């Protein structure tokens, strides 16, 4: 935050304007035995930290809560109505000493609270530290106007996320329908994968793809990593949406890259995570990402025919995501061996039907991605507005 602020604004500590409290211990057993309509908030920032529901409530009215310890320490929320919160939540109630809008204060604190988190041991932001956090306080009318502007942006973000969720559900249902029943089929046959359309075939993944991995002496050490050069794609570079994500790139020496030409990544390769806690994550390399290779925890699936898109969609399907874990070998680290990967069975339509299925699923993905881009832009707008409005750098007109 900017140390300079408008002269008519005041600077106070949290403890000057609020009664500071804490939630209580609420466990899953209590929630199971006392299911009700009043939400229980906990530590996580996702879904507003909702932990469950009780038939009683501890708080009623307007409050601010924050996460006191753990991975989400310093996350701040505006609460309104009847609710409960667990003992990893601190609480703020208006003490009546200043003219304040709690929604405005929640926005303000959300920009500064994490700066006060202690990372010695378990991350924590306890009541005594939170009490000393400084707040810049405009006049009440300006507080309300700023809160109204930011709330409006949040409402659009939430609406956009709701649209994304609905499209993701629709995509999931469409995928289940297309990958089991195909398009327009009326006659089905029994197979090792259950009932499939009469003219579909069953083939092993190893017959459809070359499976290439970094094995044996072709592994690499930390000393082989570089600050630039050829990319190394591992689980970190594949996101939960099964897409290449280069926000945290890793690079390898030219020597190590060039000694393994068989695992140099090409467009249309599928990169599959085979080892670790994220087995089954995969990505289709849809364009040229430059010089790139894989790490020892992944394999390349290189389609022998023009089936790469369809194979990718099948392997991202929830049925196959579960199947991967059914094949995991028990050991120090969960892992899939290449032989098991080769023996995975897929049901295949003819190429014309395959193209229609691919086109339909890509249409859903594009709609979802467009909304995600819209949401990202809205979040950047909100961040910019908060930086300007909560510091007084940009003033709002108050009638």
Distance between CA atoms of 290 and 252, rounded to whole angstroms?
Answer: 13
Q: Say if residue 47's pLDDT is above 80.
A: no
Q: Is 227 left (phi over 0), alpha (psi -120 to 50) or beta?
A: alpha
pLDDT in tens, 148-161: 999 999 999 999 99
What pLDDT sits at residue 140?
97
Asked if pLDDT for residue 2 goes beyond 60, the answer is no
Pairwise CA distance, residues 55 & 38, whole Å:
6
End-to-end Cα, the chain, rounded Å: 27
- Write down the pLDDT at residue 103: 97
Mean pLDDT of 239-259: 95
Strand partners, 302: 210
CA distance 302 to 10: 63
Mean pLDDT within 114-139: 96
Task: For residue 49, name the pLDDT band (cuts at 50, 70, 90).
Answer: low
Residue 203 CB partners (closer than 8 Å, separation 6+): 345, 346, 348
- Percent of the residues in the chain that have a pLDDT greater than 90, as a whole number: 88
pLDDT level of residue 332 (50, 70, 90 thresholds): confident
201-348 falls under which CATH superfamily?
Answer: DNA methylase specificity domains (3.90.220.20)
Mean model confidence pLDDT for the chain: 94
Same fold, 10-138 and 201-348: yes
User: Rounded distance, CA 282 to CA 274, Å?
Assistant: 9
The pLDDT of residue 264 is above 90? yes
Write the pLDDT tens digit of every residue in 14-40: 999 999 999 999 988 998 888 899 999
* Residue 368 clears pLDDT 90, i.e. is over it: yes
| Residue 1 pLDDT grade (very low, low, confident, very high; cuts 50, 70, 90) | very low
What local confidence, expressed as pLDDT, does residue 181 receive? 96
Specify the range with the lowest mean pLDDT, choosing from 131-145, 245-259, 310-324, 325-339: 325-339
d(C-alpha 34, C-alpha 272), whole Å: 44
Structure tokens at 293: 């290779």
Looking at the domain 146-184+354-388, which fold is it? Answer: Helix Hairpins (1.10.287)
Domain coordinates of the chain in residue numbers? 10-138, 146-184+354-388, 201-348
- According to the model, what pLDDT value does residue 35 have? 86
Q: What is the mean pLDDT of residues 250-268?
A: 95
126-146: average pLDDT: 97
User: Over 70: is that where the pLDDT of 93 sits?
Assistant: yes
pLDDT, average across residues 217-227: 87
On the question of pLDDT at 3 being above 70, the answer is no
**Mean pLDDT of the 209-237 span:** 91
CATH of domain 10-138: 3.90.220.20
């Amino acid at each position: 935050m900017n140390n300079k602020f408008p002269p008519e604004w005041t600077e106070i500590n949290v403890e000057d304007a609020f009664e500071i409290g804490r939630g209580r211990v609420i466990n899953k057993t209590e929630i199971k035995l006392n299911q009700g309509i009043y939400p229980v908030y906990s530590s996580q920032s996702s879904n507003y930290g909702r932990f469950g529901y009780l038939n009683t409530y501890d708080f009623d009215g307007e409050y601010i809560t924050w996460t006191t310890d753990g991975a989400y320490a310093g996350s701040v929320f505006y609460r309104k109505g009847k609710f409960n919160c667990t003992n990893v939540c601190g609480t703020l109630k208006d003490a009546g000493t200043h003219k304040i809008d709690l929604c405005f204060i929640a926005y303000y604190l959300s920009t500064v609270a994490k700066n006060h988190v202690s990372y010695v041991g378990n991350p924590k932001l306890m009541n005594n530290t939170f009490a000393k956090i400084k707040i810049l306080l405009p006049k009440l009318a300006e507080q309300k106007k700023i809160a109204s502007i930011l709330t409006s942006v949040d409402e659009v973000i939430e609406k956009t996320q709701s649209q994304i969720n609905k499209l993701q559900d629709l995509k999931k249902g469409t995928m289940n329908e297309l990958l089991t029943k195909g398009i327009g089929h009326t006659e089905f046959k029994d197979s090792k994968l259950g009932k499939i359309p009469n003219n579909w075939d069953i083939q092993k993944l190893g017959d459809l793809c070359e499976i290439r991995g970094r094995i044996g002496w072709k592994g690499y050490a930390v000393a082989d990593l570089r600050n630039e050069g050829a990319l190394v794609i591992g689980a970190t570079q594949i996101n939960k949406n099964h897409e290449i994500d280069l926000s945290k790139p890793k690079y390898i020496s030219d020597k190590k890259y060039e000694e393994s030409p068989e695992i140099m990544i090409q467009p249309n390769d599928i990169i599959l995570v085979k080892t670790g806690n994220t087995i089954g994550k995969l990505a289709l390399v849809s364009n040229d990402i430059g010089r790139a290779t894989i790490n020892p925890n992944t394999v390349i699936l290189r389609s022998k025919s023009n089936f790469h898109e369809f194979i990718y969609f099948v392997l991202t399907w929830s049925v196959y995501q579960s199947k991967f874990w059914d094949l995991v070998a028990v050991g120090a680290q969960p892992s899939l061996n290449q032989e098991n990967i080769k023996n995975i069975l897929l049901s295949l339509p003819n190429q014309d039907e395959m193209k229609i299925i691919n086109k339909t699923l890509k249409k859903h993905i594009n709609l979802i991605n467009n909304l995600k881009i819209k949401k990202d832009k809205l979040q950047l707008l909100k961040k910019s507005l908060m930086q300007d409005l909560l510091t007084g750098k940009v003033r709002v007109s108050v009638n």
